[in-house]
Amino acid sequence: MNWNDLEWLRSAPSTCGHQRRAHPEDAARAVDAGADGVIVSTHGGRNLDGLPATIDALPRVVEAVRGRIPVMLDSGIRRGTDVLMALALGALCVFVGRPYIYGLAAGGAQGVERVMNILRDEFAAPWRLTGRRSLAEIDSSVLWLKQAGETPIRFFVRCGGCMNGTAHHKVLIFSMMS
């Protein structure tokens, strides 16, 4: 896929594009090319040791799009506090995959429900501790940073629908696969 393909993808209903690296310049280019949103993702795993985790790439991608389109996070969400950290770093929402698969394998539908409840509870308690009354109030001030601009070392995390519960948005998936 290249940037010229985005116009064609936008003409197809409910289409997702796929870009091979999560770089801030690509996110800015996605905005210019007309993407409705970006998903920062490793698309199942980092292939190279030196690539950043999605949570580390997220702040730069958020900065690059400057609020013009939603930024979402996929990959690396294992606990509720991961969700809070992603929201605090500027993600509109997160996508959860592996924990649900683990729950399904361990206990079928009940296992998935249990995982959802655990994630919700693991998110709710730290959210309350931040003193924020709504999801909209969650920002980077809920994080302890090593130094300004560095990855959080302590954090406190969003469950729920993405982009107002609509599914018609076309998004460009930024993946760190080589």
Report the catalytic residues: 43
Coil, helix or strand for 62?
helix
The secondary structure of the chain in percent helix, strand, coil, rounded to multiples of 5, reads: 45, 15, 40
What amino acid occupies position 58? L
Coil, helix or strand for 156?
coil
Region for 131 from its dihedrals, namely left if φ exceeds 0, alpha if ψ lies in -120 to 50, beta otherwise: left
Burial class (CB in 10 A: 0-12, 13-18, 19+), 134: exposed
Coil, helix or strand for 52?
coil
